Chains A and B, each alone.
Chain A
Amino acid sequence: MTTKTEPAPSSPTEAAGPERNDRIHLVALLVAIGGVVLLAITAIALLNDDDSTSTSGLGDDAADAWGGALMSPGKDRPDFTLTDTAGRPYSFADETRGELTLLFFGYTNCPDICPVQMAVLADALDTPGVPRANAVFVTTDPERDTPERLRHWLDQFEGGEAFVGLRGTLDEVAAAEQAADVAVSTRLPTDDGDAADADYEVGHAAEIMAYTPDDKAHLAYPSGVRSEDWIGDLPRMMDRWGSGTDSATASPEGGDAPAVEGGSAAVGDITVSDAFAAASDDLTAVYVTIDNAGEDDTLVGVSSPAAGDITLMSGEDGAGMAEVDDVDVPGGGTTAFAAGAGHIMVTLDDPVEAGDTLPLELEFDKAGSVTVDVQILSWNAMVDRIESDGSNGSSGS
Chain B
Amino acid sequence: MTWWCAASKEPWSWAFRAYPGIWLFMGVLLAGYLLAFRHAPAGSAPTDRRKRWAFVGGWLMLWLSTDWPLGTLGAGYLATAHMAQYVLYTMAAAPLLMVGIPEWMMRRTLSRLRAYRTVRLLAKPLIAGMVFNLVLLITHAPITVDNLRTNEAGSFLLDVVWLLSALLLWLPVCGPLDEVKPSYPVRGVYLFLAAGLVPMVPGGFLTFSDTPLYAVYELAPRIGGFDALDDQQAAGAIMKIGNLPLLWPVLAALFMRWGNEDKKPSVPTPSETANPPA
Contacts and interface: CB of A to CB of B under 8 A. Distances in A.
Contact of B107 (A5, A111, A127): A5
A158 B110 CA distance: 53
Interface of B: 9-11, 41, 44-45, 103-104, 107-108, 110-111, 116-118, 120-122, 124, 127, 130-131, 134, 137-138, 141, 143, 210-212, 215, 218-222, 225, 227-229
A6 B116 contact: yes
Contacts of A5: 107-108, 110-111, 116
Which of A43, A119, A128 neighbours the largest number of chain B CB atoms within 10 Å of its CB?
A119
A281 B120 CA distance: 58
B218 A227 contact: yes
21 contacts: A3-B104, A3-B108, A18-B117, A26-B127, A33-B134, A40-B137, A40-B138, A40-B141, A43-B143, A44-B141, A111-B221, A112-B9, A112-B10, A119-B222, A119-B227, A120-B218, A123-B228, A156-B225, A226-B211, A226-B212, A231-B211
A2 B215 CA distance: 50
A332 interface: no
A25 interface: yes
Contacts of B228: 119-120, 123, 227
A115 interface: yes
A19 to B, nearest CB: 11
A128 B225 CA distance: 22
Interface in A22-55: 22, 25-26, 29-30, 33, 36-37, 40, 43-44, 47
A115 B108 contact: no
Top 5 A-B pairs ranked by shortest CB distance?
A5-B111, A111-B11, A115-B222, A112-B221, A5-B107
Contacts of B137: 40
Nearest to A25: B121
A115 B77 CA distance: 13
A13 interface: no
A369 B222 CA distance: 50
A378 B225 CA distance: 29
Given A25-B121, A112-B10, A227-B218, 13 more contacts: A2-B107, A3-B108, A5-B111, A25-B117, A26-B127, A36-B134, A40-B141, A112-B11, A115-B221, A116-B220, A120-B218, A123-B228, A226-B212
Contacts of B117: 6, 18, 21-22, 25
B34 to A, nearest CB: 19
Contacts of B118: 25
A2 B177 CA distance: 10
A4 interface: yes
B133 to A, nearest CB: 10
A21 B121 CA distance: 10
Interface of A: 1-6, 18, 21-22, 25-26, 29-30, 33, 36-37, 40, 43-44, 47, 111-112, 115-116, 119-120, 123-124, 127-128, 156, 158, 223-224, 226-228, 231
A1 B46 CA distance: 11
Given A3-B44, A123-B229, A228 B211 contact: yes
Contact of B227 (A40, A112, A123): A123
A116 B221 contact: yes
Given A26-B121, A112-B221, A226 B215 contact: yes
Contacts of B111: 5
B210 A127 contact: yes
A29 B218 CA distance: 36
Contacts of B9: 112
Contacts of B110: 5
Given A26-B121, A37-B134, A1 B45 contact: yes
A226 B232 CA distance: 14
Contacts of A21: 117
Contact of A22 (B45, B108, B121, B225): B121
A264 B108 CA distance: 79
Contacts of A2: 103-104, 107
Contact of B219 (A25, A120, A231): A120
A21 B221 CA distance: 52
A33 B131 contact: yes
Contact of B211 (A43, A156, A227): A227
Nearest to A116: B219
